[in-house]
A and B are shown apart, each in its own frame.
Chain A
Amino acid sequence: MLVKIILPRFNNKHRFFISIFFMLPLLIWMTGCKKLVDIPAPENQLTTPEVFTDSASVNSVVSGLYSYMYNWRSVDGSPYKSFITTLSSLTADETYYFSGNRYPQFEKNAIPVADASNLQLWADSYTAIYMANNILENINMLSKSSQGYRNQITGEAKFMRALCNFYLTNIFGDVPIILTTEVTTTALLPKSTQADVYNQIVADLKSAQELLYENYIGTGARSRVNKYAAIALLSRVYLYMNRYPEAEAAANLVIGKNAFYKLETIDRVFLRSSSEAIFQFNADQNNATYVARDFLPAAATGMPNFVVRDNLLSAFELTDLRKSNWIGKITYAGKDYYYPNKYKQTGTVPPAAANKEDDMVLRLTEQYLIRAEARAQQGNIDGAKDDLNKIRFRANVPDINAGSKAQMLGDIAHERQVELFCEWGHRWFDLKRTNKATEVLGPLKPTWKATAVLFPVPQQAINSNKNLGQNQGYN
């Protein structure tokens, strides 16, 4: 009887809906909640195991490290893009910024602790170090590739870690040494002494020297580091550490590799095809270098940006080709202004163009200057003179004939000033390492303080790690 009463009350349509209602929650519960909330990895991203078991992906990760350092930011400079070069030209005695409202903190050596550009110098270097450490920790997953290839990748990562540490310690002094991606370890690490940082750099570079191929790889000309890039940086580091015999020995290795490296004529030094290049950052396929964009005046208004200071201008000898080739002149509002002009290209340049420029990081001339200084410091004045005059000859200035070690060192310092000006902070670091900063910059800048040789540790870094003390002279 019951059935008779009820059944007519449900027609097929109703049954259909009722079953839908019950099926849905049942389906959900039956399939199990865990699976429901599992998602696939993002389609445009790879996970660490995926990346490091495939040599093409590993290659992309290494390119990613280079690209991060050189190409990452679209608007302003990051350290390895142009900031090290441009900002240190301001803090040293090389340039000032026209109509002083941009980067005055650097020009006047009064950098606020919260300065954004200063933070970029610090943070971008450490991000690159993270990327290098990440490669070092995972490269052994790539069992399919040859040992040689894995060595090359390992060497590149170690080189980049050394390069970043080199600029960090020269800009900020004592800095934390980060050797792992494990943030619970690294987040609150205190600073290490500069001596320890240098030791780490040396260890990395010596290892890279063993691991890296002799030949250049990659599609750019000399845009991925090889064995000699590691040696060249090592010789610079030994020089900075006052370890002169080792500096000389390392420079010997590079200069001796004359199948690769030859001095170019002044006008060809910064080209992609320059045989003086030991390592260049590959500027965008068909774009100019970032440093050129910063240094060159804007064509539209003819207004200068970075203006070369008089004391650099007057440092050049009369016939010096470097002044005529590497310093530009622009007339604005009836007055002449000079600007750094080692790089000439702005805008787009066809990648195949013979005169395409890349950003020079390490070049042969510096090796001659390192060897000259190392030799002079060891009392080998003649050897130093040989090296120095090679460079001077190319620049069309007369040979020097210094007799004493002190004279020789002075001549080398001068030569470095006019050869390496506005290039990767050489002048700023030279003034500091030879303890000449206050002597040279004091009279030039009323706001100069001896403590300004170090940039402040960025406030943001200190906020998140109270173990980082601030550098002297900042609060």
Chain B
Amino acid sequence: MYKLYTGIVHCINGNALSSLLTKKWIMRFNLICFILFIALLQVSYASRAQNVSISKKNATLQEIFREIKKQAGYDFLYSNLELKKAGRISINVQNQPLARVLEDCFKGQPFAFSIRNKTIIIVPSKEVTSETGMIKSIDIKGRILDEREQPIQGAVIKVKNGKQATLTNSKGEFILSGLNENSVLVISYLGYLTREVAALPDLGNIKLEISNSGLNEIRVIGYGTTTKRLNTGSINSISADEIGKQPVNSPLLALQGNVAGMYVTQSNGLPGGGVNISIRGQNSIGARNNPLYIIDGVPFNAQPIEQQSGGSYSLGANGNTSPFSTINPADIESISVLKDADATAIYGSRAANGVVLITTKKGKAGKTNVSLNFYTGIGQPASKLKTLSTEQYLELRRQAFANDNVTPSPSNAPDLVTWGTENKDFQKLLIGNTAHITEATASISGGSNNTTFFTSGTYRKEGSVFPGNKGYERGSALLNANHASNDKKFTASASISLSKDLNTLAPSDMTPAALTLPPNYPLYNPDGSLFWDNNFSNPIATVNNPYETKANNILANMALSYQLASGLLLKTTFGYNKLQSDQRFAYLQSNSGPNSFGTVAVQTSNFTEGLIVEPQVNYDKNFGKGKLQVLVGGTYQKSISKTPYSTGLTGFSSEKLAFNLASATTTLWLTNSASEYRYASVFGRINYQLAEKYILNISGRRDGSSRFGPNNKFGNFGAIGAAWIFSEESLIKQSMPWMSFGKLRASYGTVGNDQIADYGYLSTYRNNNYKYGGAVAISPARLANPDYSWENTRKMEVAMELGIAENRVLFTATAFGNRTNNMLVSNPLSAQTGFSSYQANLPALVQNTGLEFELNTRNIEKENLGWKSTFNLTIPRNKLTSFPEIENSTYANTYVVGQPLSILNLYRVKDIVNGIVQIEDANGDGVISTGIAANGLGDYVKVGQLAPKMYGGFTNNFRYKNWQLDVFLQFTVQKGYSNRYASTNPPGSFKNQDADILNVGLKPTASFGTPAYNSYLLYTYSDRVISNASYIRAKNISLSYRFPEKWTERINMKNVNLYLRGQNIFTISNYQGLDPETQQGFGNVVPPLKMFTVGIQCSL
């Protein structure tokens, strides 16, 4: 490839690097730019008579040029490669005109020259049409723009079948001189389709189109962007298009099954519920395993809204409210998931569990675009558990009482004696109602070349499957504006997003009641009032209690950048985030059981506020075939979490005044709390690309965090990544023409994790909620440990990326290995110490390895018919590699060395004889006892692992004329706890349960302490309660129809789409429980909803 060079750039750079921040350098640098600028533009040819004297023997042309430059101050533009063909010359001239000297030099050489202003351009002579050195052929100029009509800098313009070439300048402009009138220009730029144009003196604006092969799509990475082709790390990207197809509440749910190496489950099917994410397995035993979330450069606290600070709170029916439910998926342009060391090390200490970068939508220059989207739909639990019918249940109860030799009485068995035989389907009554969902979004975007904007507003209302009008509402708005100065050197962008959500779900999930209430439980008395007894809380009362959590989220960021010189960009970003939540709920006297002590109301307010400033310096420079990008930056981050108040009140004159603070006669507690977190870093990255074939990327970060003790506040992290695009090698190109793209990449580095509580090194005291005898009471808040330090993860990755048949088939295979040591654990302590845990480092080593495969194919690409497929598969493996003295540690009964962290240690059932469970005596000591046999402690053996053994997704997109059908399947191979794990309700007890229990052959019992009961307790901690929880789920099926343009034009619309979408349409699974995705060891939750929505999207 050709590049234009000026000799002086090399020599001045030598000085420049040595005095990096001096004004002198800035000035000189600008001079270079200025000269380059002039040279490239070839403003006008104005030769001035100037004489030179040169005396050289057997010199190279370069040596002559250097001499001329020294004497006359002229610059030379030439191709390095071509000049090597020049022969050596001897010359001896005294005070001769420059042009004459040059003519002498070029005599017999395969070159010609032309003088433009103070620049001498050297070109191969066969292109020269005139007889003399003065060229009289056409010069061509033009300007290259991208799809947004923004100039493209660095686009390559080559003469087809010729050797001349040039690059565009920062305004997108280029000039090629001395071309044959019949030449064809080939214009190429990474990420865009290559274009050919016939040569004309003025080509005007030439627009390039984005390439769709996927290889050249822009990928957002830490503090920058790259492309799939050129990146050296492991990055997956999800576009607005893919997010938009799913009618989900949280953007994180749209990632489910879409990203290899990222395991996503929703914790329940209620709106606002949590989303569990694990990127490449569980690294940490004790610290949180959340990835680092960054929204438009602002770190986002992933802690559930209610728990961000402290105070007393109710988790609510949805477990806890994910803060991501305050982020509107419709406002998201893309989500990047960074996985390996190369991609994440720039985030240093927070990147051990991967990084999720969320970028919101921006405006595009051009006509103002108005877009509207509206959908509405219904949802029902995607799965149901078959429980005992009243007949089966009562029969089991009778057997149990007979077995126990106990006579049923109103006291011990009201269900048998007084409740009757009605058969109620509590799953239908309590969690089987239809949830209605509606969402409307309007957005406007547009702008001029210098200023663009995007603004949108969304309202969403989502009901629940509970009885009553319980649900969730969200309103959100986004405003994003970008501005660039006329010379494009200064840019400013700002975005602000606001969202407000209201969660009025019940204070607790109805599902446990739905599954365990005896099927003949009378919800109401004959007079219509709520039925109460001592055994069960009436679920209708629970759901009737007032509950609301309001959250406000403000995310604002601003970025200012200034291009100080060519290739040198200064940038500072500022970010602000405030997430406020106010929760209030009450247990009203009228909804409480007979043992109530009156209405109790709880009100809690808390917020998290964060501020971040990140100054950065970017430097881009091309050297020959090489391209260097350097980034240096700093971070200062501060965040405060506060609970201004949290209070529990009782003694209300009327329960209607439960939320009137003043009407309570008794304050059960009134507390506040606060914590602070500060974080400062310097980071840097050097990226070097050679000939677009060899890429080296080095990044590092030094982090300081307030979460660590005074002596261990700082940590260093870094990574190195390299890629080789071997398909660019001519050998491969010739021998394997079918291979359109081939890349090998590898990376290695260390990253950290500081997801632990604040102040762990301080021994502090907090207020007890309750006073004693009227005196203020305080108590130790934690066990202090001043010595703990950073958790460290070493990540390694090797990947191969292949494109076949013009990239219609793209395949990526990745092998990764992560090792985490110096575990930061909330070290569980035996309760005898007075605390259940303390913060400490463990010398354990955890290893996560795995294989990831991604396959993208464009199977059919015709005008009226298209079919694309995307498939990804992850095979993870987790292992506790070493743990010195585990048998003496507090983890002796939790983990086994050589086994995954999610190991299931349980009894193994030998047989069930006469309804009594026979447990295998694994350690052969004659008694059955708890404890892990492998650690020499008891009879628990490994019966499996909880983490999935394999998971992935399979998407097919079909297009036929104006119809589009997308089918997205998600699958997981795993084991899970069945519904019976840790249950204390044997068959025959006073609780309903899954109907399959009848087939197990256990002896029914209703009494504690009977042999059947004891044997059942062993059974509930045995391999028999582990179920195959593998499943395939039709996560999303979407059918849309785009109205033909001739119709839409008539109503002045750009396009109109009608769509029908289904979420969680069907599930194939043998899971013994409610739902394989939300399966839980203890208790049950509302399963993910099967949703159908219909909507319309149009833009004008």
Contacts and interface: CB of A to CB of B under 8 A. Distances in A.
A278 to B, nearest CB: 16
Contacts of A129: 834
Contacts of A314: none
B771 to A, nearest CB: 7
Contacts of A51: 765, 778
B832 A6 contact: no
Contacts of B892: 463, 466
A17 B562 contact: yes
B831 A447 contact: no
Interface stretch (B64-72, B319-327, B1009-1017): B1009-1017
A388 to B, nearest CB: 34
Contacts of B669: 74
A286 B666 contact: yes
Contacts of A113: 930
Contacts of A145: none
A461 interface: yes
Interface in B879-903: 887-888, 890, 892-894
Nearest to A348: B651
B243 interface: no
B769 interface: yes
A38 B706 contact: yes
A459 B1010 CA distance: 21
Nearest to B31: A2
A459 B930 contact: yes
Nearest to B1018: A475
Interface stretch (B44-52, B209-217, B531-539, B808-816): B531-539
A305 B534 contact: yes
B929 A475 contact: yes
Given A37-B713, A183-B835, A219 B773 contact: yes
B929 A470 contact: yes
Interface string A127-150: 111110110000000000000000
Contacts of B888: 188, 466
A218 B772 CA distance: 10
B930 A104 contact: no
Nearest to A300: B594
Interface string A44-82: 111110010000010111011111101110100000000
A465 B675 CA distance: 32
A74 B765 CA distance: 20
Contacts of A459: 930
B31 A42 contact: no
A112 B835 contact: no
A42 B760 CA distance: 11
Contacts of A2: 27-28, 31
Contacts of B838: 183
Contacts of B1013: 110
B1008 A105 contact: yes
Given A14-B562, A47-B763, A68-B779, A460 B831 contact: yes
B832 A176 contact: yes
Given A186-B832, A303-B533, A462-B893, A101 B990 contact: yes
A64 B779 contact: yes
B778 A461 contact: no
Contact of B775 (A48, A63, A74): A63
Contacts of B613: 24
Contacts of B564: 18
Given A72-B769, A176-B832, A220-B774, A44 B674 contact: yes
A67 B771 contact: yes
B244 interface: no
B769 A293 contact: no
Contacts of B636: 28, 36
B597 A347 contact: yes
A71 B1014 contact: no
Given A102-B534, A188-B888, A64 B765 contact: yes
Interface stretch (B410-418, B967-975, B1049-1057): B410-418
Interface in B17-66: 21, 26-28, 30-31, 34
Contacts of B674: 42-44
Interface string B831-861: 1111110100000000000000000000000
Nearest to A41: B762
A44 B671 CA distance: 9
A457 B546 CA distance: 40
Nearest to A459: B930
A67 B770 contact: yes
Contact of B771 (A21, A38, A63, A122): A63
A122 B831 contact: yes
Contacts of B713: 34, 37
B830 interface: yes
Interface in A189-229: 189, 218-220, 223-224
A6 B597 contact: no
A475 to B, nearest CB: 4
B766 A464 contact: no
B676 A130 contact: no
B759 A41 contact: yes
A66 B762 contact: no
Contacts of B828: 463-464
A66 B572 contact: no
Interface residues of B, number: 115
B890 A187 contact: yes
A39 interface: yes
Nearest to B785: A183
Contacts of A444: none
A33 B768 CA distance: 35
Interface string B888-926: 101011100000000000000000000000000000000
B203 interface: no
Given A68-B779, A112-B984, A130 B833 contact: yes
Contacts of B570: 18, 21-22
A315 B410 CA distance: 27
A163 B832 CA distance: 15
Contacts of B28: 2
A64 to B, nearest CB: 4
A183 B1008 CA distance: 37
Contacts of B763: 47-48
B1007 interface: yes
A183 B773 CA distance: 31
A218 B775 contact: yes
B775 A284 contact: no
A20 interface: yes
Contact of B777 (A64, A102, A104, A224): A64
A28 B503 CA distance: 41
Contact of A24 (B615, B673, B775): B615
Interface in B1046-1084: none
B705 A37 contact: yes
B630 interface: no
Given A5-B34, A47-B762, A466-B937, A220 B666 contact: no
B783 interface: yes
A128 B596 CA distance: 28
A100 interface: yes
B90 interface: no
Interface string B558-582: 0010101000001110000000000
B534 A101 contact: yes
Nearest to B766: A45
B85 to A, nearest CB: 35
Interface stretch (B184-192, B275-283, B362-370, B677-685): B677-685
Residue of B836, B928, B982 contacting most chain A CB atoms (<10 Å): B836
A346 B34 contact: no
A459 B533 CA distance: 31
A300 B596 contact: yes
5 contacts: A33-B680, A122-B832, A134-B780, A187-B833, A347-B598
Given A64-B777, A113-B930, 16 more contacts: A5-B34, A21-B615, A24-B634, A28-B636, A37-B678, A40-B676, A48-B763, A60-B776, A98-B534, A99-B535, A126-B832, A187-B833, A447-B1009, A462-B931, A463-B828, A466-B893
